[in-house]
């Protein structure tokens, strides 16, 4: 059954819209907008069939800009008009570097003015006057919780229920009305606790040794052996280290390790394990968080993680790729270094921020030559650290597009069995909170972008703290997330515990 269309997205009539999920990405829309490929844009927004139509939100950001920003800055007036027809919101602003006021981000009109496209400035000024703000927050950045909210259907009471209601409401002699206790909300029933799940890089030989005999963990390991086709426990306990570090093996190990961390937490703080207000996971750890929140079953989650790891390892073998840990530079300075490194390395080079981990702490990824150039540039700019990482590839950059396409197909197959999360989940791609009960189609769309988008870890943790979370539990191997917490908020670091496995 095709998904119900979201009311805020593209009102241009086309019976093919929302018939099914397809492989048309936000990147395709932005590329056509920037280059002014009007025929392709017409297909994406107006005339395409079920396989070619763009079914997503035209206002979503690709990195720091969206399709309307790109068309405006490139002077593509026809593309701007078509995007406005598809209800691109002219009030939406660019995403700004961490630490800057979101309201300082430029609108599409300001982008056009900067590049002196006066006719587009006039066009967008008129659009701003005609389009009331409200789809997005006051700072102009997307708020998917508002965007995707649909009116709840009003149930028609059954005759028996109406009669019972009338009987209860009929006045009774000498009856003293009793005060009714308001039902508790999910927030009131939960604790101000967050469960955090690490990603690739926290694995080590002998992990799971201390929890392998816990009944829940034993059951997971038994199921994993069938799904994966090899003995995951044996690999975790015996290695060798190089093999466990391989992406295709490491990711299933970390997925099971994170869930095993919850089992360990249950023995020391059952309430925290069963009543957390929110969860989040770093990169691969996001799948662990979604499984723990009830969006995915263990079996479906592990199958997705298995395919994800295999696809990422395969994509990493195309050309020479590398990752670099950088600390001590502002994000804007590092982004400029990445851009300069790409230029120095030549055509086809990629060098981007892949993970924003803590204030002035990042990992960058791309083609090997460009990342080596970045190391030199970052050191010249005064970086406290610029260290090459032992990873399998340029994760969370455009070089992972082949892996993302394979993963998208598997996600679509798993989608009908996905459930709304039982607690809030803070997502890597946006850094924003998805409330408990959120429609899984929003989670699907964010997962479809995760492999080629930077992970906004510092942002989402800071938002958790701002939203009132006081206690944090890192569930899984080692203490890397707790170590980063010290850089994010030293006071909260004291309230962060690691459930090592």
Q: Which residues contact 192 (CB under 8 A, 6 or more apart)?
A: 277, 468, 469, 470, 471
What stretch of H or E contains 358?
strand 351-358
Q: Decide the pairing of beta strands 385-388 and 433-434.
A: unpaired
Q: Which two tokens stand for residue 68?
A: 């309307």
Contact status, residue 343 vs residue 374, Cβ threshold 8 Å:
no
Nearest CA-CA partner of 387 in 458, 324, 470: 324
Phi, psi of 263, deg, nearest 5: -60, -40
Task: Say how far apart CA 313 and CA 309 lie, in whole Å.
Answer: 6
Residues with catalytic roles:
283, 396
Task: Say how far apart CA 314 and CA 199 lie, in whole Å.
Answer: 19
The structure tokens 């982008």 sit at 111
> What 3-state class would DSSP assign to 311?
helix
Contact status, residue 364 vs residue 351, Cβ threshold 8 Å:
yes
User: Would you give the distance in Å from CA 388 to the centre of its chain?
Assistant: 25
Task: Say how far apart CA 376 and CA 383 lie, in whole Å.
Answer: 10
Count, residues in the chain: 501
């Amino acid at each position: 059954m095709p998904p119900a269309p979201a009311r805020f997205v593209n009102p241009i009539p086309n019976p093919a819209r929302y018939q099914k999920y397809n492989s048309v990405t936000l990147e395709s829309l932005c590329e056509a907008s920037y280059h002014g490929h009007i025929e392709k844009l017409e297909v994406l927004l107006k005339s395409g069939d079920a396989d070619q139509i763009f079914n997503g939100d035209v206002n979503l950001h690709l990195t720091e800009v969206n399709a309307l920003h790109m068309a405006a800055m490139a002077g593509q007036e026809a593309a701007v008009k078509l995007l406005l027809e598809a209800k691109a919101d002219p009030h939406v602003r660019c995403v700004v570097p961490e630490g800057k006021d979101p309201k300082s981000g430029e609108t599409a009109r300001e982008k056009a003015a900067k590049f002196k496209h006066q006719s587009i400035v006039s066009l967008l000024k008129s659009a701003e006057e005609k389009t009331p703000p409200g789809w997005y927050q006051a700072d102009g950045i997307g708020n998917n919780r508002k965007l995707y909210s649909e009116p709840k259907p009003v149930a028609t009471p059954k005759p028996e229920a109406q009669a019972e209601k009338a009987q209860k409401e009929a006045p009774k002699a000498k009856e003293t009305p009793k005060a009714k206790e308001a039902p508790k909300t999910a927030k009131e029933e939960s604790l101000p606790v967050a469960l955090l799940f690490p990603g690739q890089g926290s694995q080590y030989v002998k992990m799971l040794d201390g929890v392998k005999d816990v009944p829940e963990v034993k059951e997971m390991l038994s199921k994993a052996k069938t799904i994966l086709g090899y003995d995951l426990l044996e690999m975790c306990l015996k290695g060798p280290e190089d093999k466990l570090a391989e992406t295709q093996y490491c990711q299933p190990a970390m997925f099971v390790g994170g869930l095993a961390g919850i089992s360990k937490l249950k023995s020391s703080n059952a309430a925290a394990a069963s009543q957390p207000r929110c969860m989040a996971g770093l990169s691969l750890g996001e799948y662990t968080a979604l499984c723990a929140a009830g969006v995915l079953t263990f079996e479906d989650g592990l199958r997705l993680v298995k395919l994800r790891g295999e696809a990422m390892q395969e994509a990493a073998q195309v050309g020479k790729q590398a990752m670099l840990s950088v600390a001590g530079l502002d994000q804007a300075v590092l982004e400029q270094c990445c851009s300069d490194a790409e230029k120095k390395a030549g055509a086809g080079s990629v060098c981007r921020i892949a993970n924003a981990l803590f204030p002035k702490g990042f990992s960058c990824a791309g083609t090997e030559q460009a990342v080596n150039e970045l190391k030199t540039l970052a050191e010249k700019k005064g970086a406290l650290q610029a260290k090459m990482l032992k990873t399998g590839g340029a994760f969370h950059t455009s070089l992972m597009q082949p892996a993302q396409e394979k993963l998208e197909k598997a996600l679509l197959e798993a989608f009908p069995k996905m459930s709304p999360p039982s607690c809030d989940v803070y997502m890597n791609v946006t850094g924003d909170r998805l409330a408990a009960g959120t429609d899984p189609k929003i989670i699907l769309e964010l997962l479809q972008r995760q492999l080629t988008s930077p992970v906004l870890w510092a942002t989402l943790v800071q938002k958790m703290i701002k939203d009132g979370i006081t206690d944090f539990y890192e569930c899984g191997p080692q203490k890397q997330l707790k170590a980063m917490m010290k850089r994010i908020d030293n006071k909260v670091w004291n309230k962060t515990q690691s459930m090592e496995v």
